């Protein structure tokens, strides 16, 4: 088997599309009222699938995390430490929910965490000081 990508089951498709497109800069061409959104970021396939539509397709009722959750993270790499700080400030100003302000970890990575509108964690980090 080969990893092809991953999906996020979303409650509010329009809010998630706006966040990933307008705040994080993902290329998304589908309409905000769509059921499925396929996008690729740096060679990785992402899928946003509306929860209610997925449950209808599978004929199964799922449980979902509420608020900020720690089930998984999406990790985004930026050029350097300064870019971590700048990106954190920018995405917070654009509506991301702050979880961890930029900090330099003992292993040498400058990192921070924000949450998307549905509570999924997004890491922004870099191992490059300059």
Task: Dig out the tokens for 4 from the structure.
Answer: 């092809």
123 forms beta bridges with 75, 113
Shared domain for 14 and 47, answered yes or no, is yes
Q: Into how many domains does the chain fold? A: 2
List for the chain the helix, strand, coil content (%; round to 5).
Answer: 25, 35, 40
Query: Would you write out the chain's pLDDT as a tens digit for each of its 130 residues?
Result: 888 888 999 999 999 999 999 999 888 877 777 888 888 788 888 889 999 999 999 999 999 888 898 888 999 999 999 999 999 999 999 999 999 999 999 999 999 999 999 999 999 999 999 9
117: CATH? 3.10.180.10
Shared domain for 54 and 77, answered yes or no, is no
Q: Whole-model pTM?
A: 0.89
- Its domain, for residue 82, covers 73-126
Continuous segment of H or E residues that includes residue 36: strand 36-41
Give the Cβ contact number of residue 60 at 10 Å. 8
């Amino acid at each position: 088997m080969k990893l092809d990508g991953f999906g996020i089951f979303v409650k509010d498709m329009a809010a998630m599309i706006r966040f990933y497109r307008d705040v994080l800069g993902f290329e998304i061409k589908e309409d905000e009222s769509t059921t499925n959104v396929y996008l690729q970021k740096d060679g990785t396939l992402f899928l946003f699938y509306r929860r209610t539509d997925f449950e209808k397709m599978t004929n199964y009722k799922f449980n979902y995390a509420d608020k900020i959750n720690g089930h998984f993270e999406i990790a985004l790499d930026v050029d350097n430490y300064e870019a971590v700080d700048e990106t954190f400030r920018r995405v917070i100003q654009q509506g991301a929910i702050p979880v961890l302000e930029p900090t330099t970890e003992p292993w040498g990575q400058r990192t921070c965490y924000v949450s998307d509108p549905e509570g999924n964690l997004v890491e922004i980090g870099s191992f490059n000081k300059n």
